[in-house]
Amino acid sequence: MAKKRRDAAVVGIYEWPKRVDPSVSAMQIKAASIRRALEDAGLDWKDIDAIYDAGDGEGGGGLGLAAYLGVRPTVIDTTQVGGSSYEFQAAHALRDIAAGKADVAVLSYGSKAATQRIPIGTGGRGVGGNWQGNMEIPYGATLISNYAMVATRHMHQYGTTSEQLAEISVATRAHAMRNPEAVQAMADLQFVGVNEITVDDVLNSRMIADPLHLLECCMVSDGGGAAIIVSGDVAKKTKKKPVWILGSGEATSYRTNDGDITVSAGAQSAPIAFGEADVKPKDVDIAMIYDSFSITVAVCLEDLGFCKKGEVGDYVKGGVLRWDKKGAPALNTDGGGLSSNHPGMRGLFLLLESVRQLRGESTSQVPNAKLAVAHGNGGLLGATHTGGTVILAAD
Amino acid sequence: MPNRPQPQFPELDSQPFWEGAKNGELRYQTCDDCKEVVFYPRAHCTKCGSGKTTWRTSKGTGTIYTYSVVRQNRSPAFADLGAYAVAYVDVDEGFRMLTNIVGVDDPTKQIKVGMKVKVEFEKQDSGEYPIPVFRPA
Ligand SMILES: [Zn+2]
């Protein structure tokens, strides 16, 4: 591996432990998570000089969050590109810190999607009165059906099967069962079975939007968390070993008249990130990939370069994505959005579990994990979406 | 009659498309400068940035690029429909549109990628704009 870039590092993390929590607001989750992440880093509230915020929470965003926290940052970044917002924000924090504009950057997230019973996947999509919405709202394309249309096309072009996609759900659940917070989450959200699952279990779960079954869809939870990203100088005096951000890539993609919807924005963002980090997909120990649905992971595994386009069906066979199997990086070792935590924008948790793995703190710890990729997919796969790729390395 | 959500106006990009739908026309744009097909509607060409486009009317035939059968939609306009098929149809003039596939008894079994389809304009209880959907040709 090339010499590591040491401009910016993640030094503090916190993930809100409960996935159904009527006792707190989203803003309280954000503020409390920031406090705990600062404690994890050994830093103080007054050290914050940059905030990155996707506008989540009650009265937050670029105008509200600093005021709510009671801090006076000199970098305010309100990047909101869906669930991958946090990979974009980490990329911007790296850039801002490297440019000398910030030393202690805070990313935070809070959501009450479960308590408020927000039907993220199966609600009516979009609003009319704009150029896209007016062409789409009459057709009842739920969020899930957008992803499902990618799966249909992938199956058509490459012969991919539901059995193969189910491997992603199976591996992720195995990781969730090792994570006590994920186990509690599934119990609190009244999953039918809080246990490891098989490919047949996935195929026998009810169809939500063909060809995607219930067990290929992420949960809708409450939750949130925070991450503290600091300069190399600050990282010298933090409590735990820093996790370095080696590179990042950002991209967007959308429906076009002749595009291939089996290719995501990740095909553009990942080469930028790997190039900047000067590492290759085969070097990666941990793949934290946004698992809104099985197909999201499948497409992104291809687009990030872990296997060729169209070959993911063979690639995921035999449980190779499990933390304790060789042949592929360990996938979503916290239990993922499928089985641990998905309050709507999961991107932050991709960073948090990457950091846990590279510190040696995961509940499905890969021995000697050195390199992780966090890849967020925001918006609607198959339609307008973003890809944000962040490469992280152990100290 | 169906009760689908209606497009909402004022909305300057899609208004001509929907006025066409009232007359049973499936409309799209081409660029005057580079001939690119522009869809969804907008006031510039997405290939060259030209501000000069011309509205045209499609023959209304095409091919299913992909689809999904929605089994669950909590939105009231769709909750009672039963399973229905959303799809991208590649219309023969060279644009891909989100739509629904109608006119099949069992959408979970009778719809295939590559199937030839043709447009029809479905009148709505919800308002004055009929919605272009497709059925097997
Ligand atoms: Zn043009």
Q: What is the CATH number of the domain that holds A260?
A: 3.40.47.10
CATH 3.40.50.300 fits B59-137, yes or no: no
Average pLDDT value over all residues in chain A:
96
pLDDT category at A289 given cuts 50, 70, 90 is: very high
Contact state of B73 with A122 under an 8 Å Cβ cutoff: yes
Judged by a CB distance cut-off of 8 A, whether residue A208 touches chain B is yes
Judged by a CB distance cut-off of 8 A, whether residue B128 touches chain A is no
Q: Are A102 and A50 in contact (CB under 8 A)?
A: yes
Contact state of A139 with B98 under an 8 Å Cβ cutoff: yes
DSSP lists the bridge partners of residue A105 as: A50, A229
In sequence order, the 6+-apart residues with CB closer than 8 A to the CB of A104 are A43, A47, A48, A49, A50, A228, A229, A230, A231, A234
The SS3 assignment for B95 reads: strand
Angstrom distance (rounded) from CA A136 to CA A127: 9
Residue B19: the pLDDT is: 98
Residue B85: the pLDDT is: 97
Confirm whether A123 is domain-assigned.
no
CA of B89 to the centre of ligand 1 (A): 23
User: What's the CA dihedral at A206, A208, A213, A216 to 10 degrees?
Assistant: -130
Confirm whether A286 is domain-assigned.
yes
Provide mean pLDDT across the span A15-40.
97
- Chain B partners of A152 at a C-beta cutoff of 8 Å? 66-68, 113
Residue reference for tokens 């968390």: A225
Chain A residue with minimum CA distance to B122: A138
The fraction of chain A above a pLDDT of 90, given in percent, is 94
The pTM for the full model equals 0.97
In sequence order, the 6+-apart residues with CB closer than 8 A to the CB of A67 are none
CA of B45 to the centre of ligand 1 (A): 5
Residues with CB under 5 A from ligand 1 (ion): B 31, 33-34, 36, 45, 47-48, 50
Provide mean pLDDT across the span A165-185.
98
Judged by a CB distance cut-off of 8 A, whether residue B64 touches chain A is no
* Radius of gyration (C-alpha) of chain A in whole angstroms: 19
Task: Tell whether omega for the bond before A271 is within 30 degrees of 0, i.e. cis.
Answer: no
- Chain A partners of B8 at a C-beta cutoff of 8 Å? 127-129, 133-134
Taking CA atoms, A199 is separated from A196, A249, A262, A316, in Å, by: 10, 33, 23, 12
Chain A residue with minimum CA distance to B5: A138
Q: Are A165 and A298 in contact (CB under 8 A)?
A: yes
The SS3 assignment for B83 reads: coil
CA of A2 to the centre of ligand 1 (A): 44
Joined together, the tokens standing for residue A390 give 């962040």
b vs e for A55-77, b when ≥16 Cβ sit within 10 Å of the residue's Cβ? ebbeebbeeebbebbebebebeb
Judged by a CB distance cut-off of 8 A, whether residue A131 touches chain B is yes
Residue A127: the pLDDT is: 76
CA of A257 to the centre of ligand 1 (A): 14
Judged by a CB distance cut-off of 8 A, whether residue B42 touches chain A is yes
Provide mean pLDDT across the span A191-208.
97
b vs e for A313-329, b when ≥16 Cβ sit within 10 Å of the residue's Cβ? bebbeeebbbbeeeebb
Q: Which domain holds residue A374?
A: 8-116+220-394
The values of phi and psi at residue A114, to 5°, are -75, -50
Provide the number of structural domains found in chain A.
Answer: 1
Contact state of A148 with B68 under an 8 Å Cβ cutoff: yes
Residues in chain B: 137
Confirm whether A192 is domain-assigned.
no
CA of A256 to nearest chain B CA: how many angstroms apart? 7
Picking from A209, A211, A258, the nearest residue to B70 by CB comes out as A209
Residue A294: CB atoms within 10 Å = 29
Report the relative pairing of strands B61-70 and B84-91 from DSSP bridges.
Answer: antiparallel
Q: In a 10 Å sphere around its CB, with 0-12 CB exposed, 13-18 middle and 19+ buried, how is residue A341 labelled? A: buried
Angstrom distance (rounded) from CA B49 to CA B30: 12
pLDDT category at A5 given cuts 50, 70, 90 is: confident
Chain B residue with minimum CA distance to A137: B5
Quote ipTM for the complex: 0.97
Q: In a 10 Å sphere around its CB, with 0-12 CB exposed, 13-18 middle and 19+ buried, how is residue A119 labelled? A: middle
Residue numbers of chain B with a pLDDT score lower than 70: none
pLDDT category at A1 given cuts 50, 70, 90 is: very low
Contact state of B66 with A137 under an 8 Å Cβ cutoff: no
Domain ranges of chain B: 7-57, 59-137
Judged by a CB distance cut-off of 8 A, whether residue B7 touches chain A is yes
Confirm whether A202 is domain-assigned.
no
Contact state of B73 with A124 under an 8 Å Cβ cutoff: yes
Picking from A123, A134, A208, the nearest residue to B7 by CB comes out as A134
Residue A120: the pLDDT is: 73
Chain B residue with minimum CA distance to A148: B68
The SS3 assignment for B19 reads: helix
pLDDT category at A3 given cuts 50, 70, 90 is: low
Taking CA atoms, A86 is separated from A9, A18, A54, A240, B10, in Å, by: 15, 20, 8, 22, 34
Contact state of B71 with A210 under an 8 Å Cβ cutoff: yes
Residue A125: the pLDDT is: 58
Residue B74: the pLDDT is: 80
CA atoms within 13 A on the CB side of A313: 13
